[in-house]
Amino acid sequence: MEDGHFESDKFSVRWADGGDVLLLEVHTPYEAKDVWGMTEQLQRFLDDDEPPRLLLIDHAGAPNLMPRDVRKELEKTTDRMPVEFFVVTGLNNLNRMVGRIIARVFRPGQVNFFDTPAEGIEWLRGQAANFKAELEAKGTP
């Protein structure tokens, strides 16, 4: 991680403009063994971030069908992600359908799917505003 940015041949991690949404951009299809490396990098960025932590995963570089072993590894890591809300963009319809099923099981109401990163960032920022308003209403700083 250098200057708030991490780059590998398969993915990159950086903060979106405004510094409130972490972007994971997938550049090429990846294997099950790559999932934990991605998760580790995301955790390095998010560990010191204050809630609500927002993540956008852009699969535009690898939109095709994910192998079963990759999906299984993603299922294992989803509930370990230190984020309150996340969005996935750039998936084909089949992957999006599978992703929705996984999201409903592990993160109901916290995950959404969009065609573009801009749509996803807008949704994430709306969720963050609602999250903060709920905390304020409860008297929690």
pTM (2 d.p.): 0.84
- The pLDDT of residue 103 is above 80: no
Strand-by-strand arrangement of the 11-15 sheet = 5-7, 11-15, 21-26, 54-58, 85-89, 111-114
In angstroms, the CA 37 to CA 3 distance is 19
- The pLDDT of residue 70 is above 90: no
What is the model's pLDDT at position 108? 64
Q: Which domain holds residue 68?
A: 5-138
User: Total domain count for the chain?
Assistant: 1
What is the model's pLDDT at position 67? 78
- Average pLDDT in the chain: 84
Q: Which CATH number is 118's domain given?
A: 3.30.750.24
What is the model's pLDDT at position 61? 86
Least-confidence region, from 12-16, 25-29, 85-89, 107-111: 107-111
- The pLDDT of residue 102 is above 70: no
- Phi, psi (rounded to 5 degrees) for 126: -65, -45
Tens digits of residue pLDDT in 10-67: 899 999 988 999 999 999 888 888 888 888 888 888 888 888 999 998 988 886 767 7
